[in-house]
């Protein structure tokens, strides 16, 4: 699977990842004022918090130990993943089996641990807080506001690439050159790996955080899934604050590439929702609700009428 010119990794670094880190300590400023008191990761996508879908995704990929990096104002996240004996007893007494199952399901998905990031000093700094939990093995990072559709298998594909090549693997999405300045951007070379269900594998040759559009190396953006080699911790400790005065994970990955460590990308061809962005959040709620067996039929009927009545673009709604 590895190309003759690609940097090589030790057999040790090809060990399977077993642990997931989910940073949830960010401020969520794009969703203010809601996020003054409610973590954006707990905003409901239909009837479950975005974060529950993400923990389920980690568990489906075989990562049953999860560390959340939390911060001030995020204690509701710890409550959500804790048992609620009084609520369970009440639902049991009422004989409400389906809601009881839903409440219990949310606490049984994975073994969830917590560590605090004292100050929101950036994604790289958040990941660094996981060093002692992770130890010397590869691990996954899933951003707490980035949802991948349950029908797509991005994380599994990334874990497969990591086991084949060692080193680190990052998820990429073609966002179009005009949008690349909102993301980490990458320079890539083809890899000779076979594509997996429409997800293409590339080798990363450079990374830059939120470049101006005319300086971006490509239109491929880094999205919220990573499988990282433990060497990233040593690099993060030496990474100075970068863009936005934050310690950037992108900068640490750029250092790994410069040092000749293998870093691959999986270009995602499926459905992704950035639930930290208001428009993407709304799209996620509508799409997922319209596909559900319980809510879908009445919602789709209403949506058809709603869309038919929409005023032409430029006209104001009545
Ligand atoms: P975002 O870039 O979405 O930042 O972080 P944010 O502060 O949460 O949101 P906005 O842009 O102000 O609306 C990406 C991920 O990294 C986490 C966030 O919780 C989110 O899951 N993060 C970010 C941390 O855990 N710590 C940080 O210092 C920064």
**DSSP assignments along 245-289, one per residue:** GS--HHHHHHHHHHTT--EEEEE--S-EEETTSHHHHHHHHHHHH
**HSE (CB half, 13 Å, CA atoms) of 179?**
8
pLDDT in tens, 161-208: 999 999 999 999 999 999 999 999 999 999 988 888 888 999 999 999
Residue from 276, 277, 279 to probe ligand 1 pocket by mutation (most atoms less than 8 Å from CB): 276
- Distance from C-alpha of 103 to C-alpha of 88, rounded to nearest angstrom: 7
Q: Which fold has domain 12-276?
A: Spore Coat Polysaccharide Biosynthesis Protein SpsA; Chain A (3.90.550)
CA nearest to 249, candidates 239, 257, 258: 239
pLDDT of residue 5: 47
Asked if residue 26 has its Cβ within 6 Å of ligand 1, the reply is: yes
Pairing type for strands 111-116 and 65-70 reads parallel
Which atom number of ligand 1 is nearest to the Cα of residue 35?
13
Q: Which residues make up the CATH 3.90.550.10 domain(s) of the chain?
A: 12-276
pLDDT in tens, 96-139: 888 888 887 778 788 899 999 999 999 999 999 999 999 999 99
Pairing type for strands 111-116 and 146-148 reads unpaired
Q: What is the pTM of this model?
A: 0.92
pLDDT of residue 2: 45
Which atom number of ligand 1 is nearest to the Cα of residue 69?
25
Q: pLDDT > 90: what percent of the chain?
A: 73
Asked if residue 124 has its Cβ within 6 Å of ligand 1, the reply is: no
Asked if residue 115 has its Cβ within 6 Å of ligand 1, the reply is: no
| Residues 187 and 254: beta-carbon distance below 8 Å | no
Q: pLDDT > 70: what percent of the chain?
A: 95
CA angle 219, 220, 224 (to 5 degrees): 140
Which atom number of ligand 1 is nearest to the Cα of residue 144?
21
- Distance from C-alpha of 193 to C-alpha of 198, rounded to nearest angstrom: 12
Asked if residue 35 has its Cβ within 6 Å of ligand 1, the reply is: no
How many Å is the Cα radius of gyration of the chain? 21
CA nearest to 67, candidates 78, 76, 53: 78
**HSE (CB half, 13 Å, CA atoms) of 138?**
28
Pairing type for strands 200-209 and 263-267 reads antiparallel
pLDDT in tens, 226-259: 999 999 999 999 999 999 899 999 999 999 999 9
């Amino acid at each position: 699977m590895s190309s003759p010119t690609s940097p090589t990794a030790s057999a040790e670094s090809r060990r399977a990842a077993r642990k997931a880190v989910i940073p949830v300590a960010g401020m969520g400023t794009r969703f203010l004022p809601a996020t003054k008191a409610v973590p954006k990761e707990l905003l409901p996508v239909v009837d479950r918090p975005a974060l529950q879908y993400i923990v389920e995704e980690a568990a489906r990929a075989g990562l049953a130990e999860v560390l959340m990096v939390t911060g001030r104002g995020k204690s509701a996240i710890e409550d959500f993943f804790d048992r609620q004996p009084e609520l369970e007893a009440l639902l049991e007494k009422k004989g409400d089996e389906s809601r009881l199952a839903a409440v219990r399901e949310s606490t049984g998905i994975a073994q969830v641990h917590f560590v605090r990031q004292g100050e929101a000093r950036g994604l790289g700094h958040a990941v660094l807080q996981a060093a002692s939990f992770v130890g010397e093995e590869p691990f996954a990072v899933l951003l707490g506001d980035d949802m991948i559709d349950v029908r797509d298998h991005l994380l599994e594909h990334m874990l497969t690439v990591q086991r084949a090549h060692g080193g680190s693997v990052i998820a990429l999405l073609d966002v179009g050159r005009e949008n690349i300045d909102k993301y980490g951007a990458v320079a890539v070379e083809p890899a000779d790996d076979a594509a997996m269900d429409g997800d293409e594998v590339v080798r990363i040759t450079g990374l830059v955080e939120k470049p101006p559009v005319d300086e971006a190396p490509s239109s491929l953006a880094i999205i919220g899934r990573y499988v990282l080699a433990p060497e990233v911790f040593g690099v993060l400790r030496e990474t100075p604050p970068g863009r936005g005065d934050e310690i950037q994970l992108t900068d640490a990955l750029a250092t790994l590439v410069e040092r000749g460590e293998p870093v691959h990308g999986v270009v995602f061809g499926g459905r992704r929702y950035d639930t930290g962005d208001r428009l993407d959040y709304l799209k996620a709620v509508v799409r997922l609700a319209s596909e559900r067996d319980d809510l879908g039929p009445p919602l789709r009927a209403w949506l058809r009428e709603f869309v038919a009545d929409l005023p032409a673009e430029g006209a104001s709604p009545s």
